[in-house]
């Protein structure tokens, strides 16, 4: 059974980039046993995505823009962002997965390669979350070899406290503390991508027997470094 005496967190607000709610928001009843609290609500996401789109439109006006999104975590954020962009653009995807080698420096495997030609073009790389930076640093190395005119990175979430590689995103939705978050495309053991908000998973879910066999080695390693004292 789940622990129902779970205490709501203190001291993790405010987030730096954009104002977080003054009071903690409870998730809808259906999710309360799994999600401790809503970190970013649907309304906050919508407002911020709108603002990011305005900025991107301004910066890429008149350019030949190619959006390169990383699968699978970006899908919800990307779909909302795209519909807010009134620019001529093309879209392609890169699939990245980490090889379960059992070490923190697990190797990245590209599960889907880029098909569009980006040489001489402006590229906007879109990802769900910038954590250690290992994924995006390797993706950028790979893309640079294709000789784009310029490349910028857009992420919905940034956890700067976890950074290992010196990667910087040009467009950041929300800078967040070191919590493991799910929803709005982000998963835990491939679940929760469909939540319309970004929520913090209850720490007891990390030990849940239904999920352990589904976790990739990378997620397991990532969780070892995550605050579970929320």
Which residues contact Mg ion (rule: CB under 5 A)?
73, 128
Is there binding between residue 122 and ligand IMP (CB under 6 A)? no
Q: Please work out the total of residues on this chain that contact ligand IMP, with binding judged by CB under 6 A.
A: 15
CB of 49 to ligand IMP, least distance (A): 17
Residue from 34, 80, 122, 127 that binds ligand IMP (CB under 6 A)? 127
Listed in order, strand segments (DSSP E) in the chain are 35-40, 65-71, 89-98, 108-112, 122-130, 150-158, 171-175, 181-182, 198-201
12 binds ligand IMP, rule: CB under 6 A: no
Residue 22: CB partners within 8 Å, gap ≥ 6?
Answer: none
The answer to whether 59 is a known catalytic residue is no
Residue of minimal Cβ distance to Mg ion:
73
Residue 153 binding ligand IMP, by CB under 6 A = no
Helices (H) and strands (E) in the chain, counts: 4, 9
Q: Which of 45, 114, 121, 132 binds ligand IMP (CB under 6 A)?
A: 132
Q: Binding residue for ligand IMP (CB under 6 A) from 128, 148, 195, 197?
A: 128
Which of these is catalytic: 131, 158, 187, 210?
131
Q: In sequence order, what DSSP letters do the residues of 124-184 get, joined into one string? A: EEEEEEESSSHHHHHHHHHHHTT--SEEEEEEEEE-GGG--S----SEEEEE--S--EEBT
In the complex, the residues that contact ligand IMP under the rule CB under 6 A are 73, 127-135, 180-182, 186, 222
Active site residues: 131
């Amino acid at each position: 059974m789940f622990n129902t005496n779970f205490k709501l967190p203190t001291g993790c607000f405010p987030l730096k980039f954009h104002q977080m709610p003054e009071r903690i928001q409870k998730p809808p009843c259906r999710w309360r046993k799994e999600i401790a609290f809503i970190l970013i609500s649907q309304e906050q996401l919508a407002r911020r995505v709108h603002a990011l789109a305005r900025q991107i439109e301004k910066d890429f006006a008149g350019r030949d823009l190619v959006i390169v999104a990383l699968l699978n975590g970006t899908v919800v954020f990307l779909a909302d962002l795209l519909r807010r962009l009134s620019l001529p653009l093309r879209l392609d995807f890169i699939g990245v997965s980490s090889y379960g080698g059992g070490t923190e420096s697990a190797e990245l495997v590209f599960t889907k390669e880029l098909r569009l030609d980006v040489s001489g073009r402006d590229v906007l790389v879109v990802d769900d979350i910038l954590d250690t930076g290992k994924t995006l640093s390797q993706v950028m190395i790979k893309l640079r070899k294709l000789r784009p005119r310029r490349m910028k990175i857009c992420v919905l979430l940034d956890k700067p406290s976890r950074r290992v590689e010196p990667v910087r995103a040009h467009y950041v939705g929300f800078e967040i503390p070191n919590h493991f978050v799910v929803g709005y495309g982000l998963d835990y053991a491939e679940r929760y991508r469909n939540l319309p908000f970004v929520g913090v998973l209850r720490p007891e879910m990390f030990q849940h027997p239904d999920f352990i066999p589904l976790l990739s080695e990378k997620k397991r390693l990532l969780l070892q470094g995550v605050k579970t004292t929320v």
